[in-house]
């Protein structure tokens, strides 16, 4: 019974602590509403350029990762599409699987 009471008190005190934090509405508990993942880039929804403000590994400051089907660097291209287009503009062969241009 004492353990149960302690658990209930812990849950209530946690709720009061969170509810009474005084944080403005819309503010993430992880940071401010403009940079929820705290990667230094503001969410696109708040006028910034972080296309995934819940993932600190996705932002305009990182390099695109090949073949993960994610726009890692928030440039609108997934898996080096912009590099592919550059390759094709020089008449190189685009080797999608390895994300490399190959000179023909
Ligand atoms: Ca962010
Ligand atoms: Ca991010
Ligand atoms: Ca990209």
Q: pLDDT tens digit string along 51-82?
A: 999 999 999 999 888 778 899 999 888 876 66
What pLDDT, on a 0 to 100 scale, did the predictor assign at position 97?
Answer: 56
**Contacts with 88 (C-beta within 8 Å, 6 or more apart), sequence order:** 94
3-state secondary structure at position 101: strand
What's the burial of 98, exposed, middle or buried (CB within 10 Å: 0-12/13-18/19+)? exposed
3-state secondary structure at position 86: helix
Ion ligand 3 neighbours (CB, 5 A) are 64, 71, 73, 75, 77
Distance (Å) from CA 28 to ligand 2 centroid: 14
pLDDT higher than threshold 50 for residue 18: no
Q: How far apart are the first and last CA of the chain?
A: 77
User: Could you tell me the pTM of the whole model?
Assistant: 0.52
Distance (Å) from CA 69 to ligand 1 centroid: 20
CA distance 71 to 34: 20
Provide mean pLDDT across the span 35-61: 95
Distance (Å) from CA 53 to ligand 1 centroid: 4
Provide mean pLDDT across the span 3-12: 43
């Amino acid at each position: 019974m004492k353990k149960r009471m302690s658990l209930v008190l812990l849950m209530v005190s946690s709720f009061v602590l969170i509810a009474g934090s005084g944080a403005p509405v819309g503010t993430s508990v992880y940071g401010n509403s403009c940079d929820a993942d705290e990667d230094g880039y503001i969410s696109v929804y708040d006028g910034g350029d972080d296309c995934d403000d819940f993932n600190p590994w996705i932002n305009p400051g990182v390099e695109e990762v090949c073949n993960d089907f994610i726009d890692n660097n928030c440039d609108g291209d997934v898996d080096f599409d912009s590099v592919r287009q550059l390759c094709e503009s020089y008449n190189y062969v685009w080797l999608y699987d390895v994300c490399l241009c190959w000179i023909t």
